[in-house]
Amino acid sequence: MTRSSRSIPGTSAKSDIVLSPDMLILHLIATGIIRSATQIARGKLMDREYSISLQLGLDRLNVVRYRQQLPLIKSVPDLLLWCQRPLKEWPLNYQEIQLNPEDRLLIGEFPTEICDNLACATSDVEAELSEKRFMERVFSICRDDNNPQAYTDFRRLLIEKPVLTALELLQCRDTYPNLEILENLLEEAYQEAPLHYMVQGTFSCCPNCGNLLQRSLTRNEFLCEDERCRATAYSRKFINRERILQARDRIYWLRRDLRRFVMMPGRAELRLEKRLLAMDEKNIKVEMWPNFDRYDLRITLPKKVLAIDVKDWASPFLLAYKVKGIPGSNEWDQAYYVFPQERKTTQPDYVSAFTNICNNRGQISIGGNIKAAFENDFLKVVRKALQGENNAN
């Protein structure tokens, strides 16, 4: 299918959200930004050819500006500069999708979390941004080989090792013997690090998440693409914690789509696993991505089985429109959507907003067998369950 024959994202019958006109504008622009960021990460300069979504979004935004007698935005580069402004300056009803008026689509050269969320507001675009669902190919191979451990090892590797030297990539075959059946996909998952991330023959990695650091436009600091890492504010005290890699060792970096959809949310999943096992390893059994990733964690307590789906979206509104329930209800007694604790700091009403929207939509009910909680609150539930069982004994 040629590019010109594609339907506009967010308007097809297959989309799981029917986007309002204002939301569609933000969705188109966000989609274009993410596609462009993906191309740039591959070393392709976007000086002339921009994503068609950016042009479509610009055209629709200019229609709104014209009707409101506002100056038109002349070009896509001008639009990208505009995207660094907060939503409160846009002539759109951002409140209808419950976005923060201070949200931006770009901060400097980096797409924001809300930009990612808006781009993935529909399933068709999410599938395209994730390279036709790379992980489904992993799933298929592992299922056909009846090897769920290979799937688990592969996913854990992507989360824990976003950056590898050529030697480390080669050694993965020895460290994870099950990955032999995924050798080709492993090589496809990692790409050579972009040269514009190299400074004086070296690459630097984020001390927080392990991703490559990029020199800022002002050239006086190194920045991570992850918003929360940047919010940590790199200071000189972190310099000894940075991982410095020599370019001569050939550096490989996880593809952007896998960083966004597997590695970044996966960090919260592995952290939850670690905290659960530290709580009471004797009485808690934790399975990661059971049954080839039906959900994120299955927690077996002495008298109860819990299914956990960890979600890490900036917008509870957009997330609520995406979730469709936690499968395998015959496998668990209770299920939870769990949100990283960091969300509570900036969005204390995240859980209530997510719950209310889900319940109002009627597609999924939160509050019965399926609940929602911040990470720490969920751990309190597990701890209370363990204490009750211990007291009963």
Q: Which helix (H) or strand (E) holds 300?
A: strand 297-301
Q: Whose CA is closest to 142, among 134, 155, 154, 151?
A: 151
CA angle 329, 323, 267 (to 5 degrees): 90
Tens-digit pLDDT string for the chain (393 aa): 333 333 444 444 444 556 788 888 999 999 889 888 766 555 554 455 577 889 999 999 999 999 999 999 999 989 999 999 999 999 998 777 678 889 999 988 789 999 988 888 766 665 556 655 788 899 999 999 999 999 999 999 999 999 999 999 999 888 889 999 999 999 999 999 998 889 899 999 998 899 999 877 666 678 888 888 887 654 434 444 678 999 999 999 999 889 988 998 899 999 999 999 999 878 899 999 998 888 999 999 999 999 999 999 999 988 998 888 899 888 999 999 999 999 998 899 999 999 999 998 877 899 989 999 999 999 999 999 998 765 554
Q: How many CB atoms lie within 10 A of CB 280?
A: 15
Sequence-separated (6 or more) residues with CB below 8 Å from residue 228: 208, 342
Q: Two tokens at 196?
A: 């514009």
Q: What pLDDT score was predicted for residue 23?
A: 86
Q: What is the dihedral of CA 83, 162, 39, 342, to 10 degrees?
A: -20
- Please name every residue paired with 334 in a beta bridge, in sequence order, or none if there are none: 306
How far is it, in rounded angstroms, from Cα 143 to Cα 120?
Answer: 27
CB 323 within 8 A of CB 364: yes
Q: What pLDDT score was predicted for residue 133?
A: 72
Q: Two tokens at 105?
A: 């689509």
pTM of the model: 0.83
Q: What pLDDT score was predicted for residue 236?
A: 39
DSSP letter, residue 278: H
- Note the helical H segments in the chain: 21-41, 52-67, 76-82, 113-119, 123-129, 134-144, 148-160, 166-175, 183-189, 227-231, 256-258, 264-280, 290-293, 316-322, 342-346, 350-361, 375-392
CB 333 within 8 A of CB 343: no
Alpha carbons within 13 angstroms on the beta-carbon side of residue 188 total 12
Q: What pLDDT score was predicted for residue 12?
A: 44
How far is it, in rounded angstroms, from Cα 69 to Cα 79?
Answer: 18
Q: What pLDDT score was predicted for residue 125?
A: 62
CA angle 300, 305, 307 (to 5 degrees): 100
Domains and CATH numbers, the chain: 8-129 (no CATH), 134-256 (no CATH), 259-392 (3.40.1350)
DSSP letter, residue 195: G
How far is it, in rounded angstroms, from Cα 98 to Cα 208?
Answer: 30
Q: How many CB atoms lie within 10 A of CB 62?
A: 17
How far is it, in rounded angstroms, from Cα 314 to Cα 119?
Answer: 12
How far is it, in rounded angstroms, from Cα 204 to Cα 197?
Answer: 8
CB 54 within 8 A of CB 32: yes
Q: Which residues of 287-318 are buried (b: 16+ CB within 10 A; e: fewer)?
A: ebbbebbebbbbbebbeeebbbbbbbbbbbbb
Q: Whose CA is closest to 275, among 310, 242, 316, 323?
A: 310
Phi-psi map region of 147: left, alpha, beta (phi>0 left; psi -120 to 50 alpha): beta
Q: What pLDDT score was predicted for residue 233?
A: 54
Relative to beta strand 334-339, strand 243-246 is: unpaired
CB 257 within 8 A of CB 129: yes
Q: Supply the Cα-derived Rg of the chain in whole angstroms.
A: 22
